[in-house]
Amino acid sequence: MRFEHVGGVVCLGETMVMMVPAEPGPVHLVRTWHRAIGGAESNVACHLARLGVSSSWVSAVGDDSFGLAVRDTVGSYGVDVSRVRVDPARPTGLYVKEASPHGSPVRYYRRGSAASGMGLEMIDRLDLGAVQLVHISGITAALSDSCLALMRELLRRPRHGFRISFDLNWRPALWTDRDPCVLRELADMADIVLAGSDEAELVWGTGDPAGLRQLLPGPASLVVKQGADGATLLEGGASHFEPALKVEVVEPVGAGDAFAAGFLAATLAGSSPSVRLRAGHLQAAAALLTAEDVGDPLPDDVTDPLLHADPRTWASARLEV
């Protein structure tokens, strides 16, 4: 599943350094930590690059070793990071996963981060005259007033030759002192909206595709991800549903970003609704089959037959490690 002749995607949003315990035991006793990075929008950019799509990531990082690590890691996937701003005053954001038998709570240390300082000036870094798609998410709107202003201005500007995709990416911890009602406003101004039915239920009161279409009449394309059941695309007055693949799940984190990348790549390639949804499912499956946020895409000899398989063959397929 490759899309070499598709390109011009820019992803805008914060990526942070992530610290994960490298040894078992209570978090306060952990002495060794593994450093990684995490960011929804940069994950999408990395997945797109792995699929052969020309992509770039635009954000701000601190003038520190963590910022350098973030840029180097995202760039190592083949993503253009040349337009990332280095902030001399604010630090790179950080979050810590406190792994335990009862779950993995996440502690954010991103208030006052370099990315939270982004504002209208970042629009010039997007090079809108040379892109086909700008990908954003609801996370950025929660970071600061200036980030929200950036999102509004980007979505309100006339679009000449490019589209904007918006992934809801609901993170309740970011909205404790902000009004999430703006997410409906922002989503309705986008061209393509992606949302999980469960998160949409929490934010907008419904995860039903038809109900969401009533709430969001603006986007040309609305994708509702329905977990292990599948995904629905509402577009052009029609509704298209494609069941999810059966997958041996190694780690569920990152599947949503992977789905977005697969769907967007196939959309830019002009594929049919069925192929676009299947491309999303296949890229999500690649993420589910690894503990990494961005793993290797599935082999072409697996993906290509499935993209165009008959419904029975698709429904009976199962992918394992």
Residue that wins the pLDDT comparison between 291 and 245 = 245
With the CA atoms of 259, 262, 96 and 171 taken in that order, what torsion angle do they form, in degrees rounded to the nearest 10? -50
Average pLDDT over residues 99-123: 84
pLDDT score of 293: 72
Q: Tokens for 170?
A: 């609901």
Closest listed residue to residue 199, CA positions, set 172, 161, 233, 162: 172
User: Which of 27-36, 56-65, 148-157 has the lowest average pLDDT?
Assistant: 27-36
Write down the residue that tokens 């509004």 correspond to: 152
Average pLDDT over residues 34-57: 95
In angstroms, the CA 307 to CA 275 distance is 6
Task: Tell me the domains of the chain and their CATH numbers.
Answer: 8-309 (3.40.1190.20)
How do 60-62 and 106-109 pair as beta strands?
A: unpaired
Q: What are the residue numbers of the active site?
A: 257
pLDDT at 29: 85
What is the full DSSP assignment across 164-189? EEEE----GGGGTTS-TTHHHHHHHH
